[in-house]
Amino acid sequence: MKTPLVTVDIIIFTVMEKDLKVLLIKREIDPFKEKWAMPGGFIKIDEPLEEAAKRELYEETSVKDVYLEQLYTFGGIGRDPRARVITVSYFALINSNEVKIKASSDASDVRWYAVKQLPELAFDHRKIIEYALKRLRWKLEYTTVAFKLLPEKFTLTQLQEVYEIIFDKELDKRNFRKKILSLGLVKETKETQKEVSHRPAKIYSFNRSIGIGEIVEIF
Amino acid sequence: MKTPLVTVDIIIFTVMEKDLKVLLIKREIDPFKEKWAMPGGFIKIDEPLEEAAKRELYEETSVKDVYLEQLYTFGGIGRDPRARVITVSYFALINSNEVKIKASSDASDVRWYAVKQLPELAFDHRKIIEYALKRLRWKLEYTTVAFKLLPEKFTLTQLQEVYEIIFDKELDKRNFRKKILSLGLVKETKETQKEVSHRPAKIYSFNRSIGIGEIVEIF
DNA sequence: CCAAAAGTGTTAGTGATACACCCATGT
DNA sequence: ACATGGGTGTATCACTAACACTTTTGG
């Protein structure tokens, strides 16, 4: 029986330099040579899907330890000019600290692009990124995944910036804090910001008694 | 290159006889001979995924014209004892009127089962149904899909019953009506219920200016 | 006139929004 | 002392939740 090929693709987001970014790789082979694409590739016959996604991400970008969830399976005919290929796409988040270490890990053909300034993309990857972006906004509104875009310890202003950047909208500082604190999502640490030329902010950490990705209506 | 096989499976829900039901088929061949399974099967090499889902559903159960959306892609190794099989599952809703015509369409080995009384299921289908049920509850809360479980014209009590059955929880009649009417989800028709031995209810229809499945916070 | 389900308003409480000033630190 | 971002409270409005009786029809 003829059966389609199966790939996984990973769309990984981070917040960096006050911008929402995705990690892309420049293709070195046809089809779509020289175009940019999300990390991904064919799955192995004895490999679970999510593991394949992690493996491809690590092989191609040296990025690991990310929040990962399945996004959608794209299976239109003609996605790939060579053959029928079905791709199971995964949605990943990583915090900007780890990114600094890993993004430049190999050649310069792996880059973080601001989602507002994407280059020409291979396959149907633009469509996939748009879909992922909707999911990301939804996830921020209704779950606690935002914390996966921040390091272990953060200030409330940093947290608010994550929301503002992704929603592309300013939020009221007082109301934001009231909401986050009343939901008990974070706990204070004893630390404060260092070496800032203004009043230092309190440092918080995520309240681990609430699961990351758990459904909590935030806005 | 070795590549997995790809199937689609459809989990179709309806509300019937004051119960939430799913359509299952008794398998006539191994593996899992005599066990019940969701409709589905291998996709064709030149067939879009969603079309494959519709085709399998129609071939196996004569059910068509359903609300259909992709649910999740299950790809664990060992799902199918014969080979590596990845299944793209679809989530479908149909209203109980159409069901009456079509459910008994062929042999008695196609049956609607109450989700609370499922028989022994093939493959990982129980897990898939549980996942679908969570999605269904979520969809009812945040979108307008409930209307896909009702005929074109319905009473508010019928609508409320759909919610009560799926949430497995009683709702306040006055508050429910206030909410539905204030969201403008329905419009009154000129008709009323006939041949009931009590005050006849007004008949409503879905307000088509709001898309089915559109996100609207209902509860 | 009885049974059955339809239909309808008010109140109290909770959460959302809008808004402006003082505080702590480094230079 | 000034510049910078950190941190805080209150009032209004909208929405939610709880709750019981009257209406219309058929039998």
A172-216 pLDDT tens trace: 999 999 999 999 999 999 999 998 999 999 999 999 888 888 889
When the pLDDT of each residue in chain A is averaged and rounded to a whole number, the result is 93
Choose the closest CB to A1 out of B42, B73, B84. B42
- Give yes or no for residue A103 having a pLDDT over 70: no
Strand D close to A174 by CB, under 7 A? yes
Q: What are the pLDDT digits (tens) for A21-71?
A: 999 999 988 899 999 999 999 999 999 999 999 999 999 988 888 999 999
Give the CA distances from residue B122 to residues A154, B24, B62, B80, B125, in Å, rounded to whole numbers and listed in that order: 47, 10, 21, 9, 6
- Chains A and B form CB pairs within 8 A to the count of 65
Cβ atoms within 10 A of the Cβ of A64, count? 12
- Band of residue B90 on the pLDDT scale cut at 50, 70, 90: very high
Q: What is the pLDDT of residues B98-108, one digit of tens each?
A: 876 555 445 55
| Burial tier of B65 (Cβ tally within 10 Å: 0-12, 13-18, 19+) | exposed
pLDDT at B199: 96
Q: Residue A97: which pLDDT band, with cuts at 50, 70 and 90?
A: confident
Chain D nucleotides close to protein (CB under 7 A) are: 3-10, 16-20, 23-27
Quick one: pLDDT at residue B107? Answer: 53
- Mean pLDDT over A74-86 rounds to 94
pLDDT at B30: 84
Q: Measured in angstroms, what separates residue A192's CA from nucleotide C23's C1'? A: 15
DSSP A200: P
Question: What's the mean pLDDT in B72-99?
Answer: 94
pTM of the model: 0.93
Predicted confidence at residue B56, as pLDDT, reads 95
CB-CB under 8 Å, B3 with A6: yes
B7-16, B63-72, B104-113, range with the lowest pLDDT: B104-113
Tell me the pLDDT band of A92, cut-offs 50, 70 and 90: very high
Residue A115 is predicted with a pLDDT of 97
* pLDDT at res. A107: 53
Minimum CA–CA partner of B138 in chain A? A215
Q: Any idea which of A2-16, A22-36, A93-107 has the lowest mean pLDDT?
A: A93-107
Cβ <8 Å between A46 and B84: yes
| The predicted structure's pLDDT at residue A218 | 92
**Contacting residues for A48 by C-beta, under 8 A, at least 6 apart:** B75, B76, B77
Question: Residue A187 half-sphere exposure, CB side, CA atoms within 13 Å?
Answer: 6
pLDDT bucket at B162, cuts 50 / 70 / 90: very high
DSSP, res B52 = H
Nucleotide whose C1' lies closest to the alpha carbon of residue B195: D26
Q: State whether the beta carbon of A70 lies below 7 angstroms from any atom of strand C.
A: no
Tell me if B3 and A1 make a contact (CB, 8 A cut-off): no
